[in-house]
Structure formats: structure tokens, C-alpha cells
């Protein structure tokens, strides 16, 4: 993959052949740098995975589909910033399935070169979502001018490469550890009730059925005529299906037509198939995006939101 780098490629000039144990470890693609929030989420979902960072989300899915990696971990929704809409589109476009989900507590930190003081900082870099979630801290430090960057961990990586004592980054504790930076202030986010939902995604052929699955994600479209969406939703209501989320996305090239993405709780994995069958008579298209166990509790790992 042109925009995906192999595990630890940024640290090894002459990489040795993979060890035998590496050949059986799951390779997981993420969007973002080593030490990013998605990196932490991936290790939380699959312990001891080999992480393959990619520049953009499309490359994550391309690496998964062409077999370069075994799975992908993507942020799908943040409790404050909302859904990562691009990822809904990519899930629909590719022959993949969601197999697990996790919830992660967000904790943003002001990170700089070790030994730097807060008073020295006049520039702060991070992903736009992270900057937006730390507005109060930045307003309390008017000397600090904020700059959007493509990745939270990437901003820490840049900081350490430039060795600029007047610059800082906003990222996770894990990013500071990975790049050997120091944390000047921890927990600088405006709202502590901030969580991210991540999906573990596999190729459809490799997605094993989970007998304890109690949640399903579905994409469907309806014909552009009065009452079709209401009829589809009424069918779910008649079945007693608990709809926990609905999101609409425009159909590319077909103005004013939409794909609807829904999450439903299941009492049994068989109920998922019944839900799909119930929607089909009312829909022009129905696709199951995944059937998996609902994440019960958020893990506080200092991780991020929709930013990568």
C-alpha cells in the first residue's frame, strides 16, 4: 500500500525478516500515526496486534480488502462531535463486516518537549476536533495560537522532530510516551463526558459469526416517494426492535436521495436476520454492516474521539 507503512517502519532502517510469532499476529490497519488514539483503540480490541498506520481512511479499507492486513480499527462515533461520516460510506462501499465495537474515554493532554514550561508555548498543533474540544483551555491561554494538523499523534511526532520548545501538541498520554515527549497539562478537554465508539472491521469472508451478538448495524435506502421511510421504520417498531441510532448520508450522483444507517439491539442473533428480512419489502437496498456484541463500558485509556 502506497500510503500505509508496515509495523514500526518509521523506526527501522534495515528491517529484519519477520519473526515467526509476527507471522501469526493480527495485522490491523488504522488511520493515523503510531501512538495515535486509533492505535490505542486497536490494541484494546486485539491485544498484541501489529499496527499498520495509513495516511487516509480510504487506504485503511483498501489495505483490508486487498489482504495487506487482517483487520481495521476505525472510529465511528464520538459522543460530542458526532459520527465519522466518511467511515459509514466506506463500510457500505466495501465487502467488509463489523465484528466488534469498543468505547473509549477521551482524555486530551498538552504535550511538549520535556523540560518545556507552559509559559514558553505560543503555538499548539492537533487535529481540528481535538482543538475544538479544548477551547476553554486555549481561551485561558491566549498566547497559544492553535493550528490544525492531520493527526493528534502526528502533531507530537512533528513536535519531537522539530525540537521546537515554543510549540506544543494536544494528544493522548500514549502519544507522549511513544515519542518521548512530556505532558505539561493533563485532562484539558472541556467536557469529561466524552467517549468514542470504535469498530473492528474484517473482510466479509473472514468475519466469524458471534453467537452472543446483541447488536446489528444496517444500511438501507428507500424509494423516493412519500411514506417509504416511515413504512420501513414502522416495520421495525412492529417487530419490537430497539433502534439505538439512525444516520442519513446522501447518495453520490443522485441528489436528494439518501442511505440510512441504523443500529439495532438484538435479543438473539437470529433476530438480526429477521430485521433484515422485514426491511427488504420496503427498501431499494439493504446491507448488513455487522452483527456484534454491544460494548458495555468505556475504557479510560486517554484516547480520542472522531479525530484519528
- Spell out the alpha helix ranges (H) of the chain: 20-24, 37-45, 57-65, 85-93, 128-132, 135-140, 152-162, 173-179, 228-239, 269-279
8 Å CB contact between 49 and 69: no
8 Å CB contact between 35 and 179: yes
CA angle 99/103/104 to nearest 5° reads 130
Establish whether 198 is a catalytic residue.
Answer: yes
Residues recorded for the chain: 308
Q: Please give the distance of CA 160 from its chain centroid, rounded to a whole number.
A: 25
Query: Which of 34, 88, 198, 260 is flagged as catalytic?
Result: 198
Beta bridge partners, 51, equal 28
Can you point out the beta strands (E) in the chain?
Answer: 27-31, 50-54, 71-78, 82-83, 96-106, 109-112, 123-126, 145-148, 167-171, 182-186, 195-203, 215-221, 242-250, 258-265, 285-292, 298-303
Query: Which of 61, 125, 137, 196 is flagged as catalytic?
Result: 196
| Strand, coil or helix: 306 | coil
Establish whether 196 is a catalytic residue.
Answer: yes
Q: Is 288 left (phi over 0), alpha (psi -120 to 50) or beta?
A: beta
Question: Annotated active-site positions, please?
Answer: 196, 198
Amino acid at each position: 500500500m502506497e500510503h500505509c507503512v508496515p509495523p514500526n517502519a518509521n523506526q527501522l532502517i534495515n528491517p529484519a525478516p519477520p519473526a515467526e510469532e509476527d507471522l501469526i499476529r493480527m495485522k490491523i490497519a488504522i488511520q493515523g500515526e503510531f501512538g495515535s488514539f486509533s492505535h490505542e483503540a486497536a490494541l484494546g480490541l486485539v491485544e498484541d496486534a501489529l499496527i499498520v498506520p495509513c495516511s487516509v481512511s480510504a487506504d485503511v479499507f483498501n489495505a483490508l480488502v486487498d489482504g495487506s492486513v487482517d483487520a481495521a480499527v476505525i472510529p465511528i462515533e464520538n459522543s460530542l462531535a458526532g459520527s465519522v461520516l466518511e467511515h459509514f460510506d466506506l463500510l457500505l462501499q466495501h465487502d467488509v463486516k463489523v465484528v466488534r465495537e469498543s468505547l473509549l474515554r477521551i482524555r486530551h493532554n498538552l504535550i511538549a518537549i520535556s523540560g518545556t514550561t507552559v509559559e514558553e508555548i505560543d503555538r499548539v498543533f492537533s487535529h481540528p476536533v481535538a482543538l475544538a474540544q479544548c477551547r476553554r483551555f486555549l481561551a485561558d491561554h491566549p498566547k497559544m495560537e492553535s493550528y490544525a494538523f492531520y493527526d493528534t499523534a502526528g502533531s507530537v511526532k512533528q513536535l519531537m522532530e522539530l525540537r521546537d520548545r515554543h510549540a506544543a501538541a494536544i494528544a493522548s498520554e500514549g502519544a507522549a510516551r511513544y515519542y518521548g515527549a512530556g505532558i505539561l497539562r493533563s485532562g484539558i478537554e472541556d467536557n469529561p463526558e466524552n467517549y468514542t465508539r470504535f469498530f473492528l472491521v474484517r473482510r466479509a469472508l473472514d468475519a466469524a459469526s458471534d453467537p452472543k451478538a446483541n447488536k446489528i448495524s444496517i444500511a438501507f435506502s428507500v424509494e423516493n416517494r412519500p411514506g417509504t421511510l416511515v413504512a420501513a421504520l414502522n416495520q421495525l417498531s412492529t417487530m419490537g426492535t430497539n433502534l439505538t441510532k439512525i444516520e442519513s448520508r446522501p447518495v453520490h450522483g443522485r441528489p436528494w436521495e439518501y442511505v440510512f444507517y441504523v443500529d439495532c439491539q438484538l435479543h438473539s442473533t437470529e433476530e438480526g436476520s429477521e430485521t433484515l428480512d422485514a426491511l427488504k419489502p420496503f427498501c431499494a437496498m439493504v446491507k448488513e454492516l455487522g452483527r456484534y456484541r454491544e460494548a458495555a463500558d468505556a475504557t479510560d485509556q486517554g484516547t480520542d474521539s472522531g479525530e484519528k
